[in-house]
Amino acid sequence: MRDTAVRWGSPSHAFELESPDPRILGRATVVLGPWALPAAARPVRRWTVDPGPGPSEAWRIGSRGQPDRLVEGPARQAVTAVEFLGLQALLEEPPEVLTLHAALVARSGRGVLVLGPGEAGKSTLACALWRRGADLLGDDVAVVDAEREEAWSAPRRVGLRASSRALVGPELWGRIERTSAWEPTADGCLFHPQEVDGRSRPAAVRLRACVFLARREAIAGPAVALPLEPAHALLALLPYSNLVRQADPGDVLPRLAPLVRAVPAYDLGRGPLAAMALTVERLLDDEA
């Protein structure tokens, strides 16, 4: 890898950020480091970050075939913009990659996907599991290999809303703010959980369960995990897949079918957060 570039991505997709500015490269190394790729990885998308025009601090982000965009502010804001451009490319460009809009949490190498509509509590439940000792791998997007029953986090930091401060607690929130990758956002912050808890993250985890929150047809009682038939799980997964925006649903369902055949799916009823987290932990620990 050249010393003017940082490469990162997922096992299926490699990206590159190039810049002549050491502030950009230094921040990119911190933010994108957990998904760093070797120089031999051939990037499918590249972005250049150059100082923008004018006396104030600004950055011009360029990519072949795309209009340049101008980001005004410190170097960290330009790197965050590229971080999200990489996520967008992963979601929209390669139809061979399957992603799910889901939180990904793991324990002892076993993972669970937490899916649900906006404000259903995915991040809240994932954060509660993290506080109880689980690995918080991602709060928004997971990359899935349905055939291998594996998942890994998309290359984006975890985000917490300011409203989660009470759940996290002032001591832990303060530790999050002192990490090198921490960055404030309009409604909270971005950070790397492994910088807080000191635990290394697995590159991929074997999926043990898919858990749905607030599914429309759900009848599960409070904090109860009610198994779903594979056909129902298949239809429930469909709207959370990136493929549904790129292909006919009839073509997407066969891509998801191996996942629901091999990985149990559950409706999790809303209840006390601690009880919901305990239910998910039991799913992760279940040897069946």
The domain ranges of the chain are 5-92, 98-285
| pLDDT single digits (tens) 251-280 | 888 989 999 999 999 999 999 999 999 999
Right CATH number for 98-285 from 2.60.40, 3.40.50, 2.170.270, 1.10.10? 3.40.50
pLDDT number for residue 251: 81
Q: How confident is the model at residue 63 (pLDDT cuts 50, 70, 90)?
A: very high
Residues 6+ apart with CB under 8 A from 220: 226, 266, 267, 268, 269
pLDDT number for residue 93: 67
Q: How confident is the model at residue 1 (pLDDT cuts 50, 70, 90)?
A: very low
Q: Which of 38-42, 118-122, 155-159, 255-259 has the lowest mean pLDDT?
A: 38-42
| pLDDT single digits (tens) 139-181 | 999 999 999 999 999 999 999 988 888 888 999 999 999 999 9
The pTM assigned to this predicted structure is 0.92
Question: In the predicted model, what is the mean pLDDT of residues 73-84?
Answer: 96
Question: In the predicted model, what is the mean pLDDT of residues 219-236?
Answer: 96
Residues 6+ apart with CB under 8 A from 98: 143, 144, 145, 146, 241, 242, 243, 255, 256
pLDDT number for residue 203: 81
pLDDT number for residue 24: 97
Task: Give the alpha-carbon dihedral of 177, 181, 187, 188, to 10 degrees.
Answer: -30
